[in-house]
Structure 1
């Protein structure tokens, strides 16, 4: 009985695939290659080429058959695709009219019927021009004006994400996509890839979720994922923008963090000694990165108006609040004397006022 039922299901699958082949106009090699593995996707979208991926996912550039509109489609094997789609859909609704530009637009979710290829979900997303990683690889070190604009935009978006009780857990240049609204305008940095994200009330219960080079010490060593972990990632991302290198190249980051923790409290930011500060001319930029990458998350800069944990010197708190206060009337910018001291890196933010 069971064998007969399986044969019937197999025959039905073959019939559906045959019908799909007969009724569809294929235009690409990828369509032909993936029509049996992802029939629901190929039925609605024409797949042009693979443009990225890693782990359990692949990203394609595709055109919607109904109107020819172009999208990026992230194909995820396993239930993680459904979780990521739900997060992105919720954030898009929550941020409507606020900072939704800072997130990659989520169009729809396509689910394949379970088959021999397992559970598969396709996230149809806004197609951007390139990633921040691509930008740095092409241009090298970014100047302080461009870096300031990037960190302002990302800090604001992350604050909105945290307000929705979500921690990204994998902030890095490859997960920041750049969209040029039109020729001659500055690009919009967009946070993408929520595949490693978690809820604040239900964080990861294991060490090492995320990307090793940009992972915070508490996530790597303790399996602790908090909003300060995203601030660490943002600080290391800013460091990469200004230096065009990873924070700890050719080093065992875990050993660096463990050694720093063992030292006297006054030397607990020993990991900063392993970073290339000579490539960052602005003292203010160095202070910002150092404040965002304190080994102790309680002393790290936050995305909140009020500083949590042990108080930092007033000037350092206000320096960071200043960059987050751009365009936000709820947070007051520092007084004139402090603004006057914001040379180099911080002076570039005047372009956004």
Structure 2
């Protein structure tokens, strides 16, 4: 049995589905179900005894202690986080509470649980913390990619809160001996991605005939990782990663945002042409850049590749085609996640578009 936190969000739900499809042992899925958590992502697991869903907060110590005592997991995989940079700029407190305070409380509960395990079980236990490449800050255009030794230089309230959580995880290993693992991943994309992030927002807006808002000049570069590749990396780190170590996970796909948007438009032109025969690229609109927008991220994933033998299975070309097709095939899911609160957020954030 393992305990997964944040397992109804984008990456977490993909991991839960992937874990059980790959024959992993049963799991308990703890998720607060904020706006980005969606039980519908897990609909295929209804009635599956291997999946126990619990709605709750990682900051609720009593609940976490109860779940650990009841289910006795051999590992905890922590996806639970507030993760949207734009939202962190408008309302940073939620990011501090979940990513910093919540992670601290989770670590405390897990530390006491681990300390009381039988001596033979302690060495096999793992706490895997899922983090982001944004903790490293921004790279110049020709600078080497982020390695695990890169200095932390977070530039947004989101990345600062994740950096703090990473430091807490590291400290719990060095101070208490808790067998932790940390993964820092590049930008994920794929099925079940909440449509406030770049790729799903562009797909959804394009199909709705709306503007495609691109920040600044659109030349911000990111490394893109198909979410199922990320899931396989986490499985591998949990299986064979060395306690106390950090593993960067990337897709070898550095691309500027504007190229991403144009690629999506070209795929939609092919797969769902506009009725007027025009390209979706005509809907691209440049909007004022967000404050403190990092210019470039790039992941050096050579450590996980050489030590653990992991490499991504998808190229960007194969992964983005699968992603666009998934959104075309699941309009009901898209419609249901676009609540009134979501519409109000988009209107506020992209008013200039």
Shorter-chain TM-score: which interval? Answer: under 0.3
**CA radius of gyration, larger in:** 1
Question: Structure 2 length as normaliser, TM-score?
Answer: 0.27
Tell me: higher relative CO, structure 1 or 2? Use CA pairs within 8 A at least 6 residues apart.
Answer: 2
